[in-house]
Amino acid sequence: METFNVPLQPILVFLVVLARIGGLVTFAPFWAHRSISFNVRVVIAGVLSLTLTPFLLPRLQNIPADIFPLTLILLGELLIGLLLGFVGRIIFLGFEMGAHFLGAQMGFALAGVIDPNTNAQTTTFGILAQMLSIIVLLAANGHHWFLIAAVKSYETTAPGSFSLSPQLVDMLVRMSADALIVGVSLAAPAIIVLVVVEFGLEFFGRTAPQFQVFILGFPLKIGIGLWIVGASLYFIPTAFRDVLSTLYVGLDRVLGSI
């Protein structure tokens, strides 16, 4: 009776690729959106890993079959995928944060909604910015950039060689700070105008107490805020171009740091 021998190395390579792609699909924008169920994400990660394994098999050799070193390698691969996804999420979070700041200043925070993607309270402007950023990401094929970065990462970081260096931590902290700066800078013009309107309403309320400033303030701030948003639509493509450029550069910087 002939024995059926299954080569072990392709299976190990598949597991390594699955760990890195699985971490990416778990955290990256669009791929990790709540509208895509966990089961669908597992299937996507499996199909992508099966597709990439034959191409990566010549590069990935001598993967240990022992359970302890293999587990450490898989954990490192999972962290690399999560790291690549985190870069994309933190960059788009800056744009969503700016929209949230604007909505809160306009008064929409009093009618907050639950973000289905994060289960956190946000404003309608935050939800709108999140949906718009996903649409722009898909239109620019930005979701493919994460897969390309995951494949290119094997050229810079072999399985089992990942280490969380101080340079990488410093870069992630700087990117988080830059995301906050992007959010504040996008919403700053509207916030400044609305703060001036708020001071004007306070002054008007002091000089004419008979007027219901609290009631008049809500429609006034919402109207002015919507007018500013409409006037800023001309600059939205430039803002998204900068965000996508930052995403591309951020992925490239991470590949050079891991």
SS3 122: strand
Classify the C-alpha dihedral 28-33-34-36 as positive or negative: negative
Burial, 32: exposed, middle or buried (Cβ in 10 Å; 0-12, 13-18, 19+)?
A: middle
SS3 24: helix
Q: Output the pLDDT for position 182.
A: 75
Residue 122 φ then ψ, to 5°: -145, -175
The pTM (predicted TM-score) of the whole model is 0.78
108 close to 125: Cβ distance less than 8 angstroms: yes
Which pLDDT band, with edges at 50, 70 and 90, does 1 fall under? very low
Which pLDDT band, with edges at 50, 70 and 90, does 113 fall under? low
Which pLDDT band, with edges at 50, 70 and 90, does 23 fall under? confident
Classify the C-alpha dihedral 90-97-30-231 as positive or negative: negative
25 close to 77: Cβ distance less than 8 angstroms: no
Beta bridge partners of 113: 122
Q: Which residue do the tokens 């004419």 mark?
A: 208
Strands of the chain (E only): list them. Answer: 113-114, 121-122
Mean pLDDT within 194-216: 75
